[in-house]
Amino acid sequence: MSRKRVVVLGSTGSIGVQTLDIVRQRRDRLQVVGLACHRNGSALREQVREFRPKAACLVDPNAAAQTRNQMPSGVTLLAGEQGLSEIAALPSADLVVGAVSGVAGLQSLLAALAAGKDVALANKEPMVAAGRLVTDAAARTGARLLPIDSELSAIFQALQGEDRRAIERVLLTASGGPFAKLDAAALREVTPEQALAHPTWRMGNKVTVDSATLANKGFEVFETKWLFGLDPSQIEVVVHHQSIIHSMVQFVDGSIIAQMGLPDMRLPIQYALFWPERVANDLPRLELAEAATLTFGAPDFDRFPCLRLAYETVRKEGTTYPAVLNAANEVAVEAFLEGAIGFADIPHVSAAALEDHEPMSDETLDNVLAADAWAREFARRAVSHGAIRAGAEAGTSR
Ligand code: NDP
Ligand code: MG
């Protein structure tokens, strides 16, 4: 059997490293032909030495310049956004793993799909900012979007062999994050260190903070809508602290199919890499008797306004509001991690940007990028002027 040739975008991150872990276990089935990251030249160099891809890319030009002469011979080192898109469309690749963090992964994702490459996608921000552009790009070439995000993988797995028209609704499970039980006053005091300590998953910083605000769950509503063609009214969030059921699909006959497993991203990553095949592995197994109790509850939209903002914004598809929500949130999360704003200010930044935005009604790439740039600028000003709460209180309580 010929090996599947894989490009990993975001190879030095949490998902990227776990993807390479799977490749390491199954070198008989998988071959790395491209690796790319932002600026971590030393980690990329080590990966290149181990996996010997044809090409590698450092988006940051300075990092690329510093790393260039440390690359083994025979490996082409690309640089910049252009380089990232080039490696995403590498002619020899069969599958591209999209594991960049943030909307920074949008253009390379579009490049991969335009080249007809199937994409195993973890990087959710492009699905928020430009879900229609992404799904249209895939439809044009027939490239497949194979979800890595565990909830989306669960839905995808529950739908194998099913007619998508038979979906009544999707139950998207949420661990609730580390602050599920904190009241509004306590949420205002949350520090970056606390927000980065997720109870059930180990992930990159940005998605960990998003999980704590529930923005992440809101973004998964966008992913679910676009990947499975559902209306937001068919997507319900269920708080399930144990992260054992990764999501469920309820069909028109009332049957609910759930996908379960330990919280370990290597499982959904592997599923996306080998789909439609199931491949044996020696990952730890879920022992239900040890898991003991599975609990379920409704999310609290008042304590976690990011989730409400996402539901409001996903209904404004076809406009540039989703791009604004995503960009303002990216800036706010960064500002929170730098100590410039509080945890509870994050939704205020997004709400203020949405409030102030003059939407464009066409979701073209130019409009998405313009809205993204506008929202970043707006959010940076809001953060540095400390003017977030005053401007946004009305926005989050609509
Ligand atoms: P990390 O922060 O751990 O890694 C991000 C990766 O993207 C790094 O390789 C980083 O490179 C690279 N990167 C960052 N910015 C750019 C850029 N501008 N251009 C090119 N590459 C860039 O993130 P995660 O792995 O945790 O998450 C990746 C994506 O997957 C996110 O969208 C997240 O929401 C999603 N996801 C993650 C899950 C997880 O368990 N981690 C679960 C579900 C979804 P460098 O190292 O050089 O900075
Ligand atoms: Mg998820």
Measured by CA distance, the residue closest to atom 17 of ligand 1 is 38
- pLDDT greater than 80 at residue 250: yes
Average per-residue pLDDT in the chain? 95
pLDDT the model gives residue 390: 41
pLDDT digit string, tens, across residues 303-342: 999 999 999 999 998 899 999 999 999 999 999 999 999 9
Residue with tokens 């499975």: 228
Residue with tokens 């203020």: 352
- pLDDT greater than 70 at residue 395: no
Side by side, the strands of the sheet bearing 4-9 are 76-79, 55-58, 30-37, 4-9, 95-98, 118-121, 145-147
104 lines ligand 1 (CB under 6 A): yes
- Could you give phi then psi for residue 14, rounded to 5 degrees? -60, -50
Evaluated on CA atoms 43, 8, 15, 262, the torsion sign reads negative
pLDDT the model gives residue 394: 40
pLDDT the model gives residue 264: 96
110 vs 60: CA distance, rounded Å: 20
Cβ atoms of residues 39 and 19 within 8 Å = no
pLDDT the model gives residue 376: 98
221 vs 233: CA distance, rounded Å: 10
15 lines ligand 1 (CB under 6 A): yes
Distance between Cα 172 and ligand 1 center (Å) = 22
Q: Which H or E run includes 328?
A: helix 321-337
Cβ atoms of residues 220 and 172 within 8 Å = yes
Amino acid at 252: V
- pLDDT greater than 70 at residue 393: no
pLDDT digit string, tens, across residues 101-129: 999 999 999 999 999 999 999 999 999 99
Domains delineated in the chain: 4-147 (3.40.50.720)
User: For the CA atoms of the chain, what is the radius of gyration?
Assistant: 20
Closest ligand 1 atom to residue 11 Cα is 9
pLDDT digit string, tens, across residues 59-88: 999 999 999 999 999 999 999 999 999 999
pLDDT the model gives residue 397: 37
pLDDT the model gives residue 311: 98
pLDDT the model gives residue 200: 82
- pLDDT greater than 90 at residue 391: no
Does the reported pTM lie above 0.75?
yes
pLDDT the model gives residue 371: 98
